[in-house]
Amino acid sequence: MQAESAGRTGAGYWRPGADRARSGCGDVARVYLCTSACDMRKSFDGLYALVRDTLELDAFAGHLFVFANRRKDRVKILYWDRDGFAVWAKRLEQGTYAMPFEEAGQRRREITAQELGALLSGIDLSQAHRRKRYARNRVEAA
């Protein structure tokens, strides 16, 4: 019994981009949700094409790109990790993610890393209320 649990320690605590933060490459700049259902058979090249053609974003920018299937029980996250693309995937055994599909004709929706964590934990962002907090203005690099 201990051998089984020993192999699973920490498995549920990894979050996309965490390895980059530990390795000194900095935090994730932005998180983008694709607001249309995606074919979960897609992998690196297929998800890259969705980022480029559907979301109309630069997949090499170091951002996280989040995709879900129509049933909302599977999610994949694509990101550029220094020297290649990485894909993180999860399939729920029960329940669904509260993915905001087709909101107001948007192709994508930008969320914070904290909101991504909440979404992956099962929290419906449309019903969550953010309390006012101080936030420094981002300075865009020219």
Q: What would the two tokens of residue 112 be?
A: 């914070």
- Per residue in 81-95, pLDDT tens? 989 999 999 999 999
Nearest to 90 by CA among 102, 110, 72, 107: 72
Q: What does the alpha-carbon distance between residue 102 and residue 81 come to, in Å, rounded to a whole number? A: 29
Q: How far is CA 123 from CA 52, 102, 127, 128, in A?
A: 28, 18, 8, 8
Q: Examine the pLDDT at 103 and tell me if it is beyond 70.
A: no
Q: Rounded CA gap, 32 and 37, in Å?
A: 14
| Tokens describing residue 80 | 């550029």
Residue 72 has pLDDT above 50, yes or no: yes
Q: Is the pLDDT of residue 16 over 90?
A: no
Above 50 in pLDDT, residue 111?
yes
Helix (H, G, I), strand (E, B), or coil: what is residue 44?
A: helix
